């Protein structure tokens, strides 16, 4: 029988657990999540557990990273189910704060990262990285882990968090882990639960078209033409609209003219009311 996962919901309780582990010389890994866990999150927990003695997973659906018209209200929530999966993956503690713990009355601080936050997701979801940077800063300062784990699925988020952690001298190592995919290539995401069976079939095309675009640029296709062609292929495959397909510098996400430096292809497209993102190394 699996035992249940200990849960704390406020900062003093979290810090008591962390202090006890530190007192006995343990290293600590943190996995920030918004719950609705899938294999992608669990792979972060397992990696954290391989590299750290104790693993804390955070569960907080962060209102500050959703715009008013976005899916905050309908975002899937299942703490009991998440908790059972986390025990099996080796997590030691769940930190699930209420909104008032994270954003008490009078909360007035925003962490804004420029440059790497500005293009792509920053253009289409202008509120998003401010919300992410603020909550991730708080979670890391509340737990003070040795390492914090993020999936490469949200590639720009990972670069924003890296930049912010360096800029603010937060004494935590940021680790990015590979995207976990379904058998047909679709990147795992809590939002895949919104897809109808027909949309789910189309969704897998996103990753295939990314692959084809990588092949095309390696074969000499000009970058801008390859991006435009990929967007056309997505629409032809059944996507409702395309926010971007972009080949960018892998660290700064600035536009590139060639593949001289490490380069990443990133895409965001809509299937009905569901927005999917994916990315790969070029
Ligand atoms: O990637 C996510 O699930 C969220 O953006 C994060 C990092 C947990 C912050 O709310």
pLDDT value of residue 121: 98
Residues in Cβ contact with 124 at an 8 Å cutoff, skipping those fewer than 6 apart: 243, 244, 268
Q: What is the DSSP string of 52-100?
A: SSEEEEEE---GGGS-TTSSTTTS---HHHHHHHHHHHT--EEE---HH
Q: What is the average pLDDT score of the chain?
A: 97
Residue 270: enclosing H or E segment and its boundaries? strand 263-271
d(CA 66, CA 41): 20
User: Is any ligand 1 atom within 6 A of the Cβ of residue 136?
Assistant: yes
Residue-wise pLDDT tens digits, 146-178: 999 999 999 999 999 999 999 999 999 999 999
Long-range contacts (CB closer than 8 Å, 24 or more residues apart) made by 272-275: 272/196, 272/199, 272/240, 273/194, 274/191, 274/194, 274/195, 274/199, 275/191, 275/243
Give SS3 for 13: helix
For ligand 1, the distance from its centroid to the CA atom of residue 65, given in whole angstroms, is 9
Residue-wise pLDDT tens digits, 37-65: 999 999 999 999 999 999 999 999 999 99
- Specify the residue for token string 């715009």: 67
- Counting ligand 1 atoms within 8 A of each CB, the residue from 30, 32, 129 with the most, and so the one to mutate, is 32
Per-residue pLDDT band for 240 (boundaries 50, 70, 90) equals: very high
The residue-averaged pLDDT of 220-244 equals 98
Per-residue pLDDT band for 2 (boundaries 50, 70, 90) equals: low
pLDDT value of residue 98: 97
The residue-averaged pLDDT of 249-259 equals 96
CB 52 within 8 A of CB 44: no
Residue-wise pLDDT tens digits, 193-222: 999 999 999 999 999 999 999 999 999 999
pLDDT value of residue 3: 75
**Sign of torsion over alpha carbons 100, 141, 114, 244:** negative
- Told to judge if 41 belongs to the known catalytic residues of this protein, a careful annotator would answer yes
Expressed in angstroms, the distance from the first to the final Cα of the chain is 45
Residue-wise pLDDT tens digits, 79-137: 999 999 999 999 999 999 999 999 999 999 999 999 999 999 999 999 999 999 999 99
Q: What does DSSP assign to residue 196?
A: -
Domains in the chain: ranges and CATH: 7-177 (3.40.50.620), 190-281 (3.30.1300.10)
User: Is any ligand 1 atom within 6 A of the Cβ of residue 132?
Assistant: yes
The residue from 38, 41, 218, 233 that is catalytic is: 41
The residue-averaged pLDDT of 242-256 equals 98
Going by C-alpha positions, the residue among 213, 210, 197 that lies closest to residue 272 is 197
Atom of ligand 1 nearest to the CA of 61: 10
d(CA 167, CA 113): 9
Q: What does DSSP assign to residue 27?
A: -
Atom of ligand 1 nearest to the CA of 132: 9
User: Is any ligand 1 atom within 6 A of the Cβ of residue 148?
Assistant: no
Residues in Cβ contact with 118 at an 8 Å cutoff, skipping those fewer than 6 apart: none
pLDDT value of residue 280: 98
Atom of ligand 1 nearest to the CA of 136: 9
User: Is any ligand 1 atom within 6 A of the Cβ of residue 154?
Assistant: yes
| Percentage of the residues of the chain whose pLDDT score is greater than 70 | 99
Give SS3 for 29: strand
Residues in Cβ contact with 183 at an 8 Å cutoff, skipping those fewer than 6 apart: none
User: Is any ligand 1 atom within 6 A of the Cβ of residue 135?
Assistant: yes
CB 28 within 8 A of CB 53: yes
The residue-averaged pLDDT of 252-260 equals 95
């Amino acid at each position: 029988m699996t035992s249940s996962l200990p849960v704390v919901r406020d900062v003093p309780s979290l810090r008591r657990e962390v202090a006890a582990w530190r007192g006995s010389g343990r290293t600590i890994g943190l996995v920030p999540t918004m719950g609705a866990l899938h294999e992608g999150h669990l792979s972060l927990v397992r990696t954290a557990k391989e590299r750290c003695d104790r693993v804390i997973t955070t569960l907080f659906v962060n209102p500050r990273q959703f715009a008013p018209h976005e899916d905050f209200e309908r975002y899937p929530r299942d703490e009991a189910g998440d908790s059972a999966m986390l025990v099996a993956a080796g997590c030691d503690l769940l930190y699930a704060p209420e909104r008032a713990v994270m954003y008490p009355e009078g909360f007035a601080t925003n962490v804004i990262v420029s440059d790497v936050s500005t293009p792509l997701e920053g253009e289409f979801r202008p509120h998003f990285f401010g919300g992410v940077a603020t909550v991730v800063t708080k979670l890391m300062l509340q737990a003070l882990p040795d390492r914090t784990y993020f999936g490469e699925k949200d590639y720009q988020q990972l670069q924003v968090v890296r930049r912010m952690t360096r800029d603010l001298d937060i004494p935590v190592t940021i680790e990015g882990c590979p995207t976990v995919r379904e058998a047909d290539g679709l990147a795992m995401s809590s939002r895949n639960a919104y897809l109808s069976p027909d949309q789910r079939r189309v969704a897998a095309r996103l990753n295939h078209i990314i692959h084809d675009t990588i092949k095309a640029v390696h074969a000499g296709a000009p970058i801008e033409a390859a991006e435009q062609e990929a967007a056309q292929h997505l629409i032809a495959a059944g996507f409702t609209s395309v926010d971007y397909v972009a080949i960018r510098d892998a660290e700064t996400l600035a536009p590139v003219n060639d593949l001289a430096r490490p380069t990443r292809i990133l895409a965001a497209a809509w299937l009905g009311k569901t927005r999917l993102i994916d990315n790969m190394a070029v």
